[in-house]
Structure formats: C-alpha cells, structure tokens
C-alpha cells in the first residue's frame, strides 16, 4: 500500500547528516512492511533482525556494543554482507532488546555511513517502564499511524478523487454533487474499516465487513496480549479496564475522561499509569483541554482534564458494536454516539498530520471540539456527524481569541461564509 511516510524515509536516506532511524507506532500499523519495502526498493539488500526472536544476537549484545563487532557477528550469523550505502540494517521490535537500542548511539557515532533503521511497537512503554536508556540526540525519529483517509482512497484506487478533494479544499469551492456523495460513501466505509493495513487489505480481497471485523478482532487480541506481556498483573487489569471504558466515555454528553466511569471511586492515582501505558503504546489518542486559546497553546494546557480516543476508528466501531447499517445509511440520524465517533475519526486524522490534540471549554458554557495552532494563529474546529450544525461555541472562541476564521467539519459540501470554512468529513485530512 502506498503510504505518505515513504517520502520521509527517502528524505532520511539521502540526508548526509542522518542518524539511525527509529520508526515508532502502534502494533499493526505497517512499520515492518513499509521498512522492508523501502529497503527492497532502495538498497541492494536488507538485513532484517526481529529482536523478539533473535536470541543469538541478543546474547551477543550482552557483552559487545561496538558497531564493527556487531556487524561482523550479524554477517557471520546471516551469511549476508553489510555494506555502507548498499545495505539497510533493520532492527525490528527493538523494544525487546535494550542493548540493541543502546547500540544505535554507537552506530551514530562510529558508523554513520551505514543506513540503520529500527522499529518498535511498544518502545515508549519499554523506555518508560523498564527504564531503558534511550539514545537521545543520536537517532532520527518518525511516527507512523494507521492509514488516513487519503491513503485509504489510494488503496481503493481512487487517487483522482483524493486530488479533487484537495483542490476544492484549497479553493473553497463545492464539489460536484455526485463526487461529494461518492466521497461520503467512501468515508462511511472508512468509518467501519479504519486504517489498519491488514483490515484494508482484507476488504480489498473480500469486500466483506464481517471479514474486516475478524481481522480487527485479531488485532485487539494482540493489544490485550501486549498489555499482559509488558506490564505486571495488577497494571494489566487497570490498562484493560481503561481501554474497555472508552466507548462508555465517548457516550457521555461530556466526553471528558472520567475515572469513575472505569470504576466506582476511580482516580488519577489509581488509573494514571494505565492511561499513560495506552498512550505510549499508541493504542489511544489523548486530547488535552486548553484553559485559554492564546499562543502558544501548549503553555495553556489543563493537565488534569482530557479526552481519550481510540487510535483507529475501525477498532472503535468494532468495540462499540455500532450497527454497521447505521453507519452506512445516508439518512442523517439523530444519534449522539455517532457524533462522538466522528470526533474520534477527526482526532485520528489530526494525529496522523502531526498535530497535538487539544479542545477548549469555557466555564461549562461553551466547548470547541478541537483547537489547532497554525503558525501565529489559533483555529477553532467544530465536528458534526451530519449536515445540521450550529457553531455558537466556535464563534465565542473565535471572538475571544481573535481567530481569523473557524472550521466546521460536517457532511456539508465545501464553502466559506461568515468567517467559517466548511470542510466535508472526508476532507479532514486536508486541514
């Protein structure tokens, strides 16, 4: 599948000042696949070492950390020559071996000419929990997420439609109605399938939503297995409880994360570590409340209140057991939970674009779903699942913090009036 991150990988390859590359991301987002594809297309050979199963190299690293010695050992073990400029050396699941992680520092210092990449599904968890020494300043880092909606359109062989969407976004001109409805239809499919490559691939193969959800359920089971593998028994129970509570959290009128929804009497002291685990693993997305909409927004974060979304809309649809016919229906149903799911979809889009997630409330009187800092301005964003929408809170924010314009994401076509940029749901990836 064509992925946007491939461009960043090529830029890294050609950068003379590159360092070993660390590719972070949740399990099953496609890290191993994309790095293998990158290696096959751009190097004469690729040497792949899965650190969860490479016992010999793990044992060797316990006593040796010098890059030259490591390369010699790998060559002897694999029978493959490792040549700078011609070979991609790939440490997969690097979180399983602290010494492999540490070795990246020395590859940076002593063998910078060699292209070295590493990937880890639970690296953040390992560094945080196991107190691994991360080679700060000695690696380049990229984050990978599930396919966004544009990449989903590429997978569906609809690149022309994706280009058309971007043109109308830039020009604030309406899409032809037929194209608008077609794009909304693909959006509704994405709502069910999500962006996990295995789920998208299964849909392309069978065109069955039932088969897709079987794949998604397998991914969920892998997440649950990781919770037990990378935490103690007590913490595992808390992690699962927090994760399982997300659909119920989103169902509340006030979607702010509430510990009492996880367990009666629940507090940040009890569940804070579990929330951190889920975020570090990339399984959930944390959206922090802002106290004010001033520049820079990071300085005005309310560190206590936040929303928690799932990392993939397809997984949320599965966990919520939302009837698929409700999602696929073209009728604008009065379903508040569908609105919360739509927020989750937009959060996923913004995270893939590299935005830090924020929302804003004002003394309980107004709430803006998302707030983005773009250069020297702050833009309020309202998300609506259908075509019926009012933007009072957005107007309050825009007036108080002098936003040049606001954005409304809904099922409506493109447009710009009353200082509000109308963006269809399927075009959130353009923002």
CA separation, residue 100 to residues 105, 116, 144 (Å): 10, 12, 21
Task: Report how far residue 204's alpha carbon sits from residue 215's, in angstroms, rounded to the nearest whole number.
Answer: 13
Task: Report how far residue 314's alpha carbon sits from residue 279's, in angstroms, rounded to the nearest whole number.
Answer: 18
pLDDT of residue 364: 67
Question: What digits encode the pLDDT tens for the residues 144-167?
Answer: 999 999 999 999 999 999 999 999
Question: What digits encode the pLDDT tens for the residues 340-365?
Answer: 999 999 999 999 999 999 999 987 67
Per-residue pLDDT of the chain (431 residues; tens, 9 = 90+): 899 999 999 999 999 999 999 999 999 999 999 999 999 999 999 999 999 999 999 999 999 999 999 999 999 999 999 999 999 999 999 988 989 999 999 999 999 999 999 998 887 787 665 556 788 899 999 999 999 999 999 999 999 999 999 999 999 999 999 999 999 999 999 999 999 999 999 999 999 999 999 999 999 999 999 999 888 899 999 999 999 999 999 998 888 999 999 999 999 999 999 999 999 999 999 999 999 999 999 999 999 999 999 999 999 999 999 999 999 987 776 788 999 999 999 999 999 999 999 999 987 677 999 999 999 999 999 999 987 666 678 989 999 999 999 999 999 999 999 999 999 999 999 99
pLDDT of residue 120: 87
Helices (H), 139-295: 149-155, 159-171, 177-193, 197-206, 209-229, 233-251, 259-262, 268-280
Task: Report how far residue 179's alpha carbon sits from residue 196's, in angstroms, rounded to the nearest whole number.
Answer: 25
pLDDT of residue 334: 73
Q: How many Å is the maximal CA-CA distance in the chain?
A: 68
pLDDT of residue 392: 78
Closest by alpha carbon to 239, among 265, 263, 215? 263
Q: Count CB neighbours of 204 within 10 A.
A: 13
Q: Where are the domains of the chain?
A: 5-143, 149-430
Backbone angles phi, psi at 101, to 5 degrees: -65, -45
Q: Strands 377-383 and 370-374: what pairing?
A: antiparallel
Helices (H), 52-174: 55-61, 67-78, 98-110, 123-129, 149-155, 159-171
Closest by alpha carbon to 187, among 400, 39, 330? 330
Q: Give the architecture-level CATH label for domain 5-143.
A: 3-Layer(aba) Sandwich (3.40)
Task: Report how far residue 353's alpha carbon sits from residue 70's, in angstroms, rounded to the nearest whole number.
Answer: 36
pLDDT of residue 348: 98
pLDDT of residue 388: 65
């Amino acid at each position: 599948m064509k992925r946007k991150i491939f461009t960043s990988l090529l830029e890294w390859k050609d950068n003379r000042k590159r360092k070993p590359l660390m590719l972070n991301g949740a399990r099953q987002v496609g890290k191993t696949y994309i790095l293998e594809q990158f290696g096959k297309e751009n190097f004469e050979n690729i040497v792949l070492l899965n650190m969860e199963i490479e016992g010999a190299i793990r044992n060797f690293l316990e006593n040796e950390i010098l890059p030259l010695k490591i390369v010699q050992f790998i060559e002897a073990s694999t029978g493959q020559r490792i040549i700078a400029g011609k070979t991609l050396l790939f440490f997969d699941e690097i979180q399983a071996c602290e010494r492999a992680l540490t070795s990246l520092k020395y590859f940076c210092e002593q063998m910078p000419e060699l292209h070295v990449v590493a990937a880890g599904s639970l690296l953040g968890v390992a560094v945080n929990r196991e107190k691994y020494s991360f080679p700060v300043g000695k690696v380049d880092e990229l984050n990978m997420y599930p396919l966004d909606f544009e990449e989903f359109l590429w997978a569906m062989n609809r690149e022309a439609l994706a280009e058309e969407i971007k043109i109308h976004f830039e020009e604030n001109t309406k899409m032809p109605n037929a194209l608008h409805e077609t794009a909304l239809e693909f959006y509704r499919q994405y709502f069910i399938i999500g962006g996990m490559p295995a789920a998208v691939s299964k849909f392309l193969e069978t065109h069955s939503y039932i088969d897709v959800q079987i794949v998604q359920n397998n991914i969920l089971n892998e997440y649950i297995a990781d919770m037990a593998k990378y935490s103690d028994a007590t913490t595992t129970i808390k992690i699962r409880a927090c994760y399982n509570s997300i659909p119920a959290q989103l169902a509340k009128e006030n979607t702010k994360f509430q510990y009492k929804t996880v367990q009666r009497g629940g507090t940040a002291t009890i569940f804070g570590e579990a929330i951190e685990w889920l975020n570090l693993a990339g399984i959930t997305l944390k959206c922090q409340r802002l106290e004010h909409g001033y520049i820079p927004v990071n300085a005005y974060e309310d560190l206590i209140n936040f929303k928690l979304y799932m990392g993939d809309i397809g997984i949320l649809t599965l966990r919520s057991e939302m009837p698929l016919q409700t999602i696929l229906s073209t009728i604008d149903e009065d379903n508040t939970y569908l609105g919360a799911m739509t927020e989750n979809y937009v959060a996923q889009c913004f995270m893939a674009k590299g935005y830090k997630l924020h929302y804003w409330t004002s003394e309980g009187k107004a709430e803006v779903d998302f707030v983005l800092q773009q250069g020297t301005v702050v833009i309020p964003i309202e998300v609506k699942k259908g075509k019926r929408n009012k933007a009072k809170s957005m107007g309050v924010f825009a007036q108080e913090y002098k936003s040049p314009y606001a954005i409304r994401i809904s099922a409506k076509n493109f447009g710009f009036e009353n200082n509000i940029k109308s963006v269809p749901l399927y075009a959130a990836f353009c923002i």
